[in-house]
Structure 1
């Protein structure tokens, strides 16, 4: 089972090596990188490349580790007992299986995505240490132990919003997805827009990297935002000439796809003002 680039996803060699190393070691793959660099999509493409189904657990700020294992619905059981429902005698009727349980009991190997783990409480990763390490957990209400039939390929993503515990990091294979260079980004574009004219792509790449490298930028535009921008450019039927900077104009056409806060827009408006002033 070897992961490589797919028809819809360009994986740099170091990323493919990281995925295959994690699969070989049977360790969770912890993937970090800027938002929009394809961390979540990586897990889906790994599943496609390896021919495996995928189970996605999207973590939120309110998510608890226990929810990934199971949840016991005591309220429903109490209500049913008051109504005399016969289901109340089997506690298993009130156990809701979490994503880890689903992955553990799957009939074959699966890819388990734990997406944006850094959104949850700082204790969230530590609470999953034993389950991810031993691939088993105990259900106290029923007294059973759930063990993984087939060890899943676990991919965990993080936007680096908070530090993860050392004990958790020790159990993972780590990879940081660097922002692609112009050549790799052009390959990514070719996958999504194969008919794009070279001159238009070259000009779009030039303008895009000029924006990303602008000093003082609060949020650099991501790969996904660049693809959105290209989609708008094609929809508006713009040419390479349309994307070129006019004298004293720093804001690109359709900049709302790339600049996502008022501070960055104000920065480029100020740069435009200074450029026009110097051009007089």
Structure 2
């Protein structure tokens, strides 16, 4: 069986690779947490590419119900068809719409199922999937059939920790927290996405990025994905290393809109710049 070690475009730390392979070996869902922008959703896509397994994505919203991942019975459409005398109403299966979990279980080959941002849904959402994810089967009451996994899917579940997940659900998962990468790892990530970037530019960009990220009082720290966006703009504008370094009391980096996403953080840096100018007088 193929093992996940990362891909050319996705740098996986040793701990992350161990977590993915352990979850696959155990047949348990991999629950991945970490601050936004650390590559949780992208991880599932890269596992799919690395293992050569098709990807099925289930993006959870605040209104999503667990049952929708199994199937939905369109009773309204069936009633309308019966009023029109449609022959297809005699078979209730015509009004059953398979959900993402059904698709994953019924697939002819092993797939990767992404359940993205599970913490957005109601607190009962994970509880309602306990048995289905554990046994990899469920019952369709309207037709009397049982849907069972032909090939146990690799399940990746992401969470931004907006809600606590139930202990019974956590017990059934293999857990991994993706920490924000250190400078060496972030350098590898950047080089994977922007090969050939000049060392001097990358060094200045990383230095300024970590200075900004470690500023006390910052409400939303810039993420890995925002660093990649910022560097893309730097390369597009052909900025020099000197352009990226703070100078003359300028606390804001160039093209800072790629990094700072709240008004409070902008005001914070404006105050820092004002204070810095005051100390220089």
Same fold (TM over 0.5): yes
Cα deviation digits, residues 97-116 of structure 1 (max 9, x gap): 00000000000111010000
1:54 corresponds to: 55
For the residue of structure 2 that corresponds to 1:157, the secondary structure is: strand
- Equivalents in 1 of 2:86, 2:225: separation in Å? 51
Aligned counterpart, 1:25? 26
For the aligned residue pairs, the C-alpha RMSD in angstroms reads 0.5
Q: Aligned partners of 2:126 and 2:237: how far apart in 1?
A: 45
* Residue of structure 1 equivalent to 2:126: 125
Normalised TM-score (structure 1): 0.99
Q: How far apart are the structure 2 equivalents of 1:7 and 1:265?
A: 35
Q: Which residue of 1 aligns with 2:274?
A: 273
Look up the SS of the partner of 1:220 in the other structure. coil
Q: Give the structure 1 partner of residue 43 of structure 2.
A: 42
Which residue is 2:183 aligned to? 182
1:235 CA displacement: 1.0
- Whole-angstrom distance in 2 between the partners of 1:168 and 1:260: 33
How much has 1:249 moved relative to structure 2?
A: 1.1
Q: Deviations over 1:206-234 (max 9, x none)?
A: 11011111111000000000000001111
SS at match of 1:138: strand
Superposition pairs of residues 110-149 of structure 1, within 5 angstroms: 110-149=111-150
Q: Aligned partners of 1:5 and 1:107: how far apart in 2?
A: 25
Q: What is the CA distance between 1:246 and its match in structure 2?
A: 1.0
Distance 2:246 2:148 in 1: 60
Matched, 1:166 2:172: no
Quote the offset at 1:195 in angstroms.
1.2
Gaps of 5+ in 2: none
**Matched residues in 2 for 1:138 and 1:145: separation?**
4
How far apart are 1:118 and its partner, in Å?
0.4
> What corresponds to 1:220 in structure 2?
221
Indicate the SS of the match to 1:225. Answer: helix
Task: For 1:27 and 1:167, locate their aligned partners in 2 and report how far apart those are by CA, in whole Å.
Answer: 13
**How far did residue 18 of structure 1 move?**
0.3
What CA distance in whole angstroms lies between the structure 2 residues aligned with 1:272 and 1:75? 61
Secondary structure (helix, strand or coil) at the match of 1:145 reads strand
Shift of residue 247, structure 1, vs aligned partner: 2.1
What is the number of equivalent residue pairs in this alignment? 280
Per-residue CA deviations over 1:77-136 (Å, capped at 9, x if unaligned) read 000000000110000000000000000000011101000000000000000000000110
1:264 aligns to 2:265 (yes or no): yes
Partner of 1:77: 78
Number of the residue aligned with 2:241: 240
The equivalent residue for 1:63 is 64
